[in-house]
Chains A and B, each alone.
Chain A
């Protein structure tokens, strides 16, 4: 990481002898860094590096209360931080040190951070959108193809040394099927680009219609029309109050018989029990899921169903993508400390004052 301050020509800049030089703002790491440890160490050029070494929410709140973090301006919130401190809900946010101005979260989804609580405390939050797009779209297509083939059945048979098993079934081709994408952001558009190469027809629902340039021929439809007319439905929207339970009993009832559901976004977008029921009724042919309503718990009705393809939330679990995500967190951290603004701030905070991206 470059040390831009060394080239700061302003006359007021501290000389090397000044005592100001020793007062660096602190940044706090919660959870581990896997791929960019060296780059993290290099952040010591502009910030004092602190690490939360505890393992529980209690320990974290205690450190927040006892002044250990009283000089921390920015937090690197790793993927695993929720398993250590629990969600950054209103309670936790209220106890963060007054010095804290930035939370740099590693992940595209940030429903485990209460953004409104952060905003009211003037804390800016960043996430890692674009870095996750391709890898998440890859897994969406993997699940889509697997679900069309109900591939868990032959997969389980061959692994049990039973070749195709007692009653082999045929799957379906994606070609000429209508793929309905809910949420046409960065990930949704990458899913569309891949699905097109498989000969699928793309329609989408989004809060607002995209420019023709971004649509690439995809048809903009209402939520109701998408639900009713898609052969495959892929969820690629974020989880908010409005989207929680977006797909429930009523929506399944309105779908085409034999529809396929792909979810790589968030489990809570779907009423999982309603999905289990729709699968059992045969309304839904198959589902390809990477996310669940109560992760890491998975509905037994899904685990017991051979017709579905299930993965344990590994959409972005690749070396390349995880490294890109960690680098983007550091980029946000550096920008926060040095320029007083984030690079990839969450959309809810776009109206807050900040430096230009």
Chain B
């Protein structure tokens, strides 16, 4: 009998590839709806033979996070949870592990797109672009503008030199920036040299960078990695760019540092209470904001969807995920 798979949330670009899994796979779906309805359907038993779940990128807006509440009532047949997205803090991996559910994410699909948006926000923040941008749209031409700063010859401190951090370094170098980084491990010499990136301690990065850009995964050890003490140590006039996760930064401390003038400007794609955004960010002309759209490109979304489908095939027919989350790899 064909195994069953369930898609939660919508598939935008590679739906044909999903449909093509049939008839080898029996396809079920929950593309639109609410958390309450999803929970009641899980309890009703209609998904009871599902072995693999395609959790789409926007599924959190449909069902909310896959917290313990949901994980605990997934059908006992579920063995594989394949998430479309690099970040998966909206999945309780620990709860999955306890139930024997293996989780995959989609690394290596969004590096370019997130790095692109990082550079966009960095230039925008260095230029304090919000003021002229808003003035023009309001029909006031430049309004009252303050000159910005050039990236050229500035020190860019990259926190977290994984796939995205490296792509940011590659781009920033073309703008004439000097790159320093901190990471759990220094890069192999050949890669560091090609990126002209120098490994420094966390302390040194915080205290010497003109621009600090975060490219870390959110874990208990990175949560609020930038707080009041760290802002205190930064150069006056620093620019902060965050396209990773809002919870990496203590937002209150960041707002105080902005108001005190310690921080010159911010470029933010992520917030700690998404989709709610602190009014003080929205009200400031020194802040460039985007609503978590780092990976929101056609090419990235299509690549992630393809990788989810590859994970599902591999799981159902070879008993193994291709890109399992690292928490589960290190313990197996």
Q: List chain A positions with a Cβ less than 8 A from chain B.
A: 134-135, 138-139, 141-142, 145-146, 148-149, 151-152, 154-155, 157-159, 161, 163-165, 168, 170-175, 193-194, 196-199, 295-296, 298, 303, 310-314, 317-322
Asked whether B329 is an interface residue with its Cβ less than 8 Å from the other chain, the reply is: no
Asked whether B141 is an interface residue with its Cβ less than 8 Å from the other chain, the reply is: yes
Q: Which of A159, A161, A165, A196 has the most CB of B within 10 A?
A: A159
Of chain B, the residue at the smallest CB distance from A175 is B112
Q: What sequence of 0s and 1s flags, for each residue 133-172 of chain B, a beta carbon within 8 Å of any chain A beta carbon?
A: 1011101011101011111100000000000000000110
Of chain B, the residue at the smallest CB distance from A169 is B296
- Taking CB atoms, residues of chain B closer than 8 Å to A134 are 150, 152, 175-176
Cα–Cα distance between A170 and B277 once the two chains are bound (Å): 21
Of chain B, the residue at the smallest CB distance from A161 is B282
> Top 6 closest A-B pairs, CB basis?
A197-B174, A163-B275, A296-B141, A158-B291, A312-B142, A145-B120
Number of residues from B at the complex interface, CB < 8 A: 50
A151 adjacent to B301 (CB under 8 Å): no
Additional pairs, 13, CB under 8 Å, beyond known A138-B150, A155-B290, A311-B132: A134-B176, A135-B150, A138-B123, A152-B137, A164-B291, A164-B293, A165-B291, A170-B301, A197-B170, A197-B174, A310-B136, A314-B142, A320-B150
B151 adjacent to A138 (CB under 8 Å): yes
The smallest beta-carbon distance between B57 and chain A, in angstroms, is: 10
Q: What sequence of 0s and 1s flags, for each residue 265-280 of chain B, a beta carbon within 8 Å of any chain A beta carbon?
A: 0000000001101010
Asked whether B289 is an interface residue with its Cβ less than 8 Å from the other chain, the reply is: yes
Tell me which of B137, B176, B275, B299 contacts A310 (CB under 8 A). Answer: B137
Asked whether B90 is an interface residue with its Cβ less than 8 Å from the other chain, the reply is: no
Tell me which of B123, B136, B275, B279 contacts A312 (CB under 8 A). Answer: B136
Of chain A, the residue at the smallest CB distance from B298 is A170
Asked whether B127 is an interface residue with its Cβ less than 8 Å from the other chain, the reply is: yes
The smallest beta-carbon distance between A231 and chain B, in angstroms, is: 12
- Taking CB atoms, residues of chain A closer than 8 Å to B198 are none
B152 adjacent to A320 (CB under 8 Å): yes
Contact A196/B127 with A141-B119, A170-B301 known, Cβ cut-off 8 Å: no
Contact A314/B297 with A142-B123, A158-B277, A164-B291 known, Cβ cut-off 8 Å: no
Cα–Cα distance between A172 and B301 once the two chains are bound (Å): 10
A296 adjacent to B116 (CB under 8 Å): no
Q: What sequence of 0s and 1s flags, for each residue 296-317 of chain B, a beta carbon within 8 Å of any chain A beta carbon?
A: 1111110000000000000000
Q: What sequence of 0s and 1s flags, for each residue 74-114 of chain B, a beta carbon within 8 Å of any chain A beta carbon?
A: 00000000000000000000000000000000000000110
- Taking CB atoms, residues of chain A closer than 8 Å to B289 are 155, 158-159
The smallest beta-carbon distance between B319 and chain A, in angstroms, is: 34
Asked whether B117 is an interface residue with its Cβ less than 8 Å from the other chain, the reply is: yes
A-B contact count (CB 8 A): 147
Q: List chain B positions with a Cβ less than 8 A from chain A.
A: 12, 112-113, 116-117, 119-120, 123-124, 126-127, 129, 132-133, 135-137, 139, 141-143, 145, 147-152, 170-171, 173-176, 274-275, 277, 279, 282, 289-293, 296-301
Cα–Cα distance between A151 and B294 once the two chains are bound (Å): 11
B297 adjacent to A142 (CB under 8 Å): no
A173 adjacent to B174 (CB under 8 Å): no
A-B contact pairs, 27 of them (CB 8 A): A135-B150, A138-B150, A142-B124, A145-B119, A152-B137, A154-B291, A154-B296, A157-B291, A158-B277, A158-B289, A161-B277, A161-B279, A161-B282, A164-B275, A164-B291, A171-B293, A173-B112, A173-B113, A193-B174, A194-B171, A298-B136, A298-B139, A303-B137, A311-B136, A317-B148, A318-B127, A318-B148
- Taking CB atoms, residues of chain B closer than 8 Å to A152 are 137
Of chain B, the residue at the smallest CB distance from A177 is B299
The smallest beta-carbon distance between A143 and chain B, in angstroms, is: 10
Tell me which of A135, A161, A174, A317 contacts B145 (CB under 8 A). Answer: A317
Cα–Cα distance between A159 and B141 once the two chains are bound (Å): 19
B135 adjacent to A314 (CB under 8 Å): no
A158 adjacent to B132 (CB under 8 Å): no
Cα–Cα distance between A295 and B132 once the two chains are bound (Å): 14
B120 adjacent to A146 (CB under 8 Å): yes
Cα–Cα distance between A82 and B174 once the two chains are bound (Å): 34
Cα–Cα distance between A148 and B119 once the two chains are bound (Å): 14
The smallest beta-carbon distance between A298 and chain B, in angstroms, is: 7
Tell me which of A158, A168, A295, A311 contacts B296 (CB under 8 A). Answer: A168
- Taking CB atoms, residues of chain A closer than 8 Å to B141 are 295-296, 298, 312
Q: Which of B124, B132, B133, B275 has the most CB of A within 10 A?
A: B133
- Taking CB atoms, residues of chain B closer than 8 Å to A197 are 170-171, 173-174
Contact A311/B133 with A158-B282, A173-B116 known, Cβ cut-off 8 Å: yes
Cα–Cα distance between A207 and B135 once the two chains are bound (Å): 37
Q: Which of A157, A163, A295, A298 has the most CB of B within 10 A?
A: A163
- Taking CB atoms, residues of chain B closer than 8 Å to A174 are 116
Q: Which of B139, B151, B296, B301 has the most CB of A within 10 A?
A: B296
